[in-house]
């Protein structure tokens, strides 16, 4: 179901009693600019507003800027608006150019200011533009919708200020050079003030306990939520999205009386919990290699494997390297360590199970406690 937002009603969200504004992602901006450019190339007059559908189920109506028409192409821009989320990309322009092709279909290329992936482990293959899968699908789908049957079009995405802004991000460290990444899983940007988020989590967990008596499921993000709902069939009412605030959420869950807690998260975050790090933001702590190396060595990894881990940029790449150890043993072992640390954090006053995944392989591992807690859900369902 799509919520059509001709107004800005979708932007308002209340966080701990404060009214904040949502924004829209770089992926939504690129999609809107591409769709507008293609629509104007194939006969539309200059557009002031363009509508796109987002994975969040909200239809955005975004302003179009800086339209440039040439004999064989049209380009335009959409300005990033991050709402009340602190973001260095807020206010930057994302441009799209559209040019007709003889061959049917939509061809997507990257121009100036869009990064290029040079190291493995990200959601995008080495050598390709740093346009993540969800935004790429959005762009291709929305452009196809305004392209006449049998006609082809080339879309070039560019970020005029992308190379400069990328120096203020972790892109180079992650293996993205030359500009910014086109990101987004929902199409929206949620305001993420940490204190506001803490307040919201406290209220959400407290309210859930008043209405619900089963095990609690803490997920780190949207992918974890989808895994919980679609793969494991867990009830939506049991889920709370906690982001990086694992420790705070565990504390609050115990205070509210939850005795069984299931944690579902990306390996890049939860690997830190295995070492007792309960705020998983990269600026708080980043010991992913060290933790992976320690547990890999315990399971028999040789010096060559540990050296490869040290050179890896992302946990996705580390997971590929460690496949030689046998996925099930390694990741089930890590899940058990995450649960062990989390239980100790709560002085063993709650039963905790853990499930870990990555974007490339999906489900990686889970421990015995996780299976036991899921059996509780099965009995209740």
By CB neighbour count within 10 A (0-12 exposed, 13-18 middle, 19+ buried), where does 228 fall? Answer: buried
SS3 (DSSP) at 318: helix
The Cα–Cα gap between 381 and 191 comes to 34
The Cα–Cα gap between 339 and 303 comes to 28
Angle, CA 92 vertex, CA 87 and CA 93 arms, to 5°: 145
**What are the CA-CA distances from residue 17 to residues 93, 195, 203, 241, 301 (Å)?**
32, 12, 10, 19, 50
Does the pLDDT at position 6 exceed 60? no
The Cα–Cα gap between 306 and 290 comes to 9
Q: Average pLDDT for residues 168-172, to the nearest whole number?
A: 81
Does the pLDDT at position 331 exceed 70? yes
Q: Average pLDDT for residues 203-210, to the nearest whole number?
A: 82
Does the pLDDT at position 225 exceed 50? yes
Q: What is the mean pLDDT of the chain?
A: 89
Q: Average pLDDT for residues 158-163, to the nearest whole number?
A: 96
Domains of the chain, residue spans: 3-189, 194-380
User: Can you state the angle between helices 303-311 and 288-298, rounded to 10 degrees?
Assistant: 160
The Cα–Cα gap between 201 and 187 comes to 22
CB 366 within 8 A of CB 220: no
Q: How many residues does the chain have?
A: 381
pTM, entire model: 0.62
DSSP 56-88: TSEEEEEE-EEEEE-SSEEEEEEE-B-TTS--T
User: Looking at residue 112, what DSSP letter applies?
Assistant: T
Over residues 306-317, the pLDDT tens digits come to 999 988 888 888
Confidence of residue 1 (pLDDT cuts 50, 70, 90): very low
- For 3-189, CATH number out of 3.40.50.300, 3.30.2110.10, 3.40.47.10, 3.40.1670.10 equals 3.30.2110.10
The Cα–Cα gap between 133 and 182 comes to 9
The Cα–Cα gap between 248 and 230 comes to 27
N- to C-terminal Cα separation, the chain: 26
Using only the alpha carbons of the chain, give its radius of gyration.
22
């Amino acid at each position: 179901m799509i919520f059509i937002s001709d107004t800005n009603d979708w932007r308002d969200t209340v966080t701990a009693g404060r009214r904040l504004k949502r924004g829209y992602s770089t992926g939504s901006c690129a999609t809107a600019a591409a769709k507008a450019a293609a629509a104007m190339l194939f006969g539309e007059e200059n557009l002031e507003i363009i509508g796109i559908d987002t994975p969040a189920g909200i239809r955005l109506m975004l302003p179009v800027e800086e339209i440039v028409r040439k004999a064989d192409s049209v380009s335009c821009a959409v300005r990033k608006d991050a709402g009340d989320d602190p973001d260095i990309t807020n206010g930057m322009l994302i441009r799209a150019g559209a040019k007709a092709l003889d061959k049917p279909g939509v061809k997507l290329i990257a121009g100036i200011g869009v990064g290029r992936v040079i190291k493995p482990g990200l959601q995008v293959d080495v050598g390709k533009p740093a346009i993540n899968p969800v935004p790429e699908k959005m762009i291709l789908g929305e452009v196809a919708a305004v392209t006449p049957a049998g006609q082809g079009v080339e879309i070039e995405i560019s970020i005029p200020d992308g190379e400069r802004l990328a120096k203020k991000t972790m892109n180079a460290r992650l293996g993205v050079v030359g500009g910014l990444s086109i990101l987004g899983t929902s199409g929206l940007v949620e305001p993420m003030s940490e204190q506001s988020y803490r307040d919201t989590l406290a209220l959400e967990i407290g309210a859930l306990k008043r209405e619900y008596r089963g095990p609690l499921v803490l997920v780190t993000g949207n992918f974890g939520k989808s895994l919980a709902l679609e793969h494991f069939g867990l009830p939506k009412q049991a889920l709370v999205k906690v982001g990086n605030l694992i420790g705070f959420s565990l504390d609050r869950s115990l205070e509210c009386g939850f005795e069984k807690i299931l944690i579902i998260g990306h390996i890049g975050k939860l690997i830190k919990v295995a070492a007792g790090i309960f705020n998983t933001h990269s600026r708080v702590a980043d010991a992913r290699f060290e933790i992976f190396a320690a547990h890999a060595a315990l399971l028999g990894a040789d010096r060559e494997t540990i050296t490869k881990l040290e050179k890896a940029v992302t946990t996705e790449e580390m997971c590929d390297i460690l496949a030689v150890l046998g996925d099930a043993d390694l990741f089930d072992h890590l899940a058990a360590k995450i649960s062990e640390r989390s239980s100790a954090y709560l002085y063993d006053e709650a039963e905790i199970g853990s499930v870990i995944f990555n974007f490339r392989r999906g489900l990686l591992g889970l421990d015995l406690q996780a299976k036991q807690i899921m059996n509780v859900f099965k009995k209740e369902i």
